[in-house]
């Protein structure tokens, strides 16, 4: 409970800070300080739960904090801290109301806490709404840019529509089971199959959550929204928020519907296959690296859906590794993208000559996204695929399909490497890279390589679950 209160209070504090603090850089520093405090409170909470080896049930089971939720939230707070460290100058550049952007980010963080530790479908709804509404605002925060307003409106309309599906699904589940509490849904626990009403509710929930994590065929909002939103907020949306929604997805389907999964397994498998297919094939044809990264996030979401499909504890571990690997690599890639003036592939031409360190970091992030061994991305993919095969041998076709799509992904990921290293050109760097930027990018790249070489460091933390 303490982390939730901490992040919400930080958000409120940041909102009022706008009245007194004018200097944007000071606002960023204050946000970083508050994030550090929240992280400290997270770790404190986590060690408490680990020592007592207990699960916190709050508000008669509406919030359930076990070690997994607290671990995940700690990782997310740390990721947000790294994100602000990397992107602070760009957040400051988006518009006037910097303190409000940070306030919204803190509210998103508290929503992530809710999504990590919900025990009740209404809290799930609350968490999804609290995470979505700030995103609608952040997507439209570049008021001088028409694409930003378009992104915000598209996101708002599609998002509200999907929330309608969510509410209908929850209502149907309530009608079928008589409760909102995830643990006491008791679907299939008596071995007597599933109520048609409940199954319809589950399918609607798949649609709704699929919208939120941009799984095909509910992904159509993602490219335009990610492309139109200001790039630092795209980075936030594509990584931390998407990953948190996936954890919510997994928790619901494992804890609530785990026993009836023969009924929804095929639906998710088809959604996964479609997501991988559409995400990867369309990404190949993109001209802009920002849009390519948006489609790449769709295809990575396809891989993360494997963890939902797996329906076992291995799947939980795999989603943690995948989220860390994917977040580090994508935030790093977006940070590098933000430094350049030209967002197309040609904008990267000759980066290796102009700034070899930046190009090397970019190469490491791209290798991680493509799944080359020695980077965190390889183990992430390995884990999600193994978790599915561990669960069901019959899904080998899906694993093979995913790996073939991974080959397709090399087509667009390596275009960046080819531009950076093999094409001559003079990259126009719009915003000079400071020493602090290099340090944090280097830290991110080092983490990617470290987890890629010795994933047991992260795994050791996870086996505490």
Partner 1 sequence: MLLLFSFILVPFIFGVLSFFSGSNAKRIALTGSCISLVLSLCLITQFCEHPGQELQHSVSWIPAIGASLSLSAGAAAAILVLLTAIIFPLIFIAQWKRPIENPSRFYGLMLLSQAGLMGVFLAHDLLLFYFFWELALIPVYFLCSLWGGEKRIRVTFKFFIYTFLGSLIMLAAIIWLYIQTPTRSFDYATILQTGQSLSFGMQQIFFWMLFIAFAIKMPLFPFHTWQPDTYEQSATPVTIVLSAIMVKMGLFAAYKWLLPVLPEGAAYWSQTVMILSVTGIIYASLLAMVQSDLKRIVAYSSIAHVGLMSLGLFADTPVATNGFIFQMFNHGINITGMWLIVSMIEDRYKTRDLKALGGMSGAAPAIAISLVIMAFASIGLPLTNGFIGEFMLFLGVFQSANPNHIAFMVIAGLGIILGAIYTLNMVQKVAYGTAKTTLQIEKIRPGELFCLVIIIVIIIVLGVYPKLLLGLIG
Q: Residue 180 Cβ, how far from partner 1 at the closest point, in Å?
A: 36
User: Taking CB under 8 A as the rule, does residue 390 contact partner 1?
Assistant: yes
Name residues whose C-beta falls within 8 Å of residue 55's C-beta, 6 or more positions apart in sequence: 49, 64, 65, 66, 67
Of the candidate spans 29-37, 174-182, 254-262, 391-399, the one that interacts with partner 1 by CB under 8 A turns out to be 391-399
Residue from 188, 230, 362, 455 in contact with partner 1 (CB under 8 A): 455
What is each CA distance from 235 to 20, 41, 75, 203, 329, in whole angstroms? 28, 25, 17, 29, 11
Q: Which of 30, 32, 284, 399 binds partner 1 (CB under 8 A)?
A: 399
Q: What is the closest distance, in whole angstroms, from the C-beta atom of residue 113 to partner 1 in the complex?
A: 27
Q: For residue 60, count CB atoms less than 10 angstroms from its CB and return exposed for 0-12, middle for 13-18, buried for 19 or more.
A: exposed
Question: Is the CB of 220 or the CB of 411 nearer to partner 1?
Answer: 411
Number of chain residues interacting with partner 1 (CB under 8 A): 31
Among residues 36, 373, 430, 439, the one that binds partner 1 under rule CB under 8 A: 373
Residues between 401 and 430 with contacts to partner 1, criterion CB under 8 A: 403-404, 406-407, 410-411, 414, 418, 421-423
- Residue 374 lies near partner 1 (rule: CB under 8 A): yes
**Is 36 an interacting residue with respect to partner 1 (CB under 8 A)?**
no
Query: 355-373 burial by CB neighbour count: b if 16+ within 10 A, else e?
Result: beebbbbbbbbbbbbbbbe
Candidates 196-204, 246-254, 305-313, 386-394; binding stretch for partner 1 (CB under 8 A): 386-394
Q: Which is nearer to partner 1, 249 or 421 (CB)?
A: 421
| 107 lies in the site for partner 1, by CB under 8 A | no
User: Which residue, 113 or 300, has its beta carbon nearer to partner 1?
Assistant: 300
Q: If binding is defined by CB under 8 A, does position 446 make contact with partner 1?
A: no
How far apart are CB 58 and partner 1 at their closest, in Å?
Answer: 31
Q: Which residues contact 198 (CB under 8 A, 6 or more apart)?
A: 172, 173, 176, 177, 185, 187, 260
State the residues that interact with partner 1 by CB under 8 A.
Answer: 367, 372-374, 378, 382, 385-386, 389-390, 393, 396, 399-400, 403-404, 406-407, 410-411, 414, 418, 421-423, 454-456, 459-460, 463
């Amino acid at each position: 409970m303490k982390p939730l209160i901490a992040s919400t209070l930080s958000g409120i504090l940041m909102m009022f800070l706008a009245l007194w603090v004018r200097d944007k850089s000071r606002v960023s520093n204050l946000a970083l300080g508050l994030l550090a405090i929240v992280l400290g409170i997270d770790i404190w909470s986590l060690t408490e739960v680990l020592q007592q080896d207990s699960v916190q049930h709050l508000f008669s089971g509406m919030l359930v904090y076990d070690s997994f939720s607290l671990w995940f939230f700690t990782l997310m707070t740390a990721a947000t801290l790294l994100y602000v460290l990397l992107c602070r100058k760009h957040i400051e550049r988006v518009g006037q109301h910097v303190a409000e952007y940070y306030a919204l980010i803190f509210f998103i963080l508290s929503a992530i806490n809710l999504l990590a530790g919900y025990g009740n479908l209404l809290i799930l709804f609350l968490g999804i709404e609290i995470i979505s509404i700030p995103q609608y605002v952040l997507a439209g925060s570049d008021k001088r840019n028409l694409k930003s307003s378009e992104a915000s409106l598209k996101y708002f309309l599609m998002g509200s529509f999907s929330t309608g599906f969510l509410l209908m699904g929850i209502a149907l589940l309530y009608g079928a089971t008589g409760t909102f509490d995830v643990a006491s849904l008791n679907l299939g626990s008596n071995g007597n199959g599933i109520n048609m009403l409940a199954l319809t509710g589950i399918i609607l929930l798949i649609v709704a959550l699929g919208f939120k994590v941009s799984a095909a065929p509910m992904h159509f909002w993602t490219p335009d929204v990610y492309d139109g939103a200001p790039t630092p907020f795209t980075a936030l949306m594509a990584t931390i928020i998407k990953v948190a929604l996936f954890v919510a997805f997994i928790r619901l389907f494992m804890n609530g519907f785990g026993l009836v999964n023969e009924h929804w397994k095929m639906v998710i498998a088809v959604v996964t296959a479609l997501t991988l297919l559409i995400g990867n094939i369309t990404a190949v044809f993109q001209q802009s690296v920002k849009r390519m990264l948006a489609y790449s996030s769709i295809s990575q979401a396809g891989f993360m859906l494997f963890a939902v499909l797996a329906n076992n504890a291995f799947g939980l571990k795999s989603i943690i590794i995948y989220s860390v690997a994917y977040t580090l690599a994508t935030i790093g890639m977006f940070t590098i993208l933000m430094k350049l003036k030209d967002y197309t592939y040609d904008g990267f031409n000759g980066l290796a000559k102009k700034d070899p360190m930046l190009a090397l970091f970019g190469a490491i992030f791209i290798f991680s996204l493509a799944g080359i061994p020695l980077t965190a991305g390889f183990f992430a993919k390995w884990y999600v695929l193994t978790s599915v095969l561990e669960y069901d041998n019959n899904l080998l076709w899906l694993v093979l399909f995913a790996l073939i799509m991974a080959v397709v992904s090399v087509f667009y990921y390596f275009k960046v490497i080819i531009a950076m290293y093999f094409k001559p050109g003079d990259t126009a760097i719009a915003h000079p890279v400071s020493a602090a930027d290099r340090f944090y990018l280097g830290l991110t790249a080092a983490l990617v390589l470290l987890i890629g070489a010795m994933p047991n460091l992260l795994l050791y933390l996870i086996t505490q679950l």
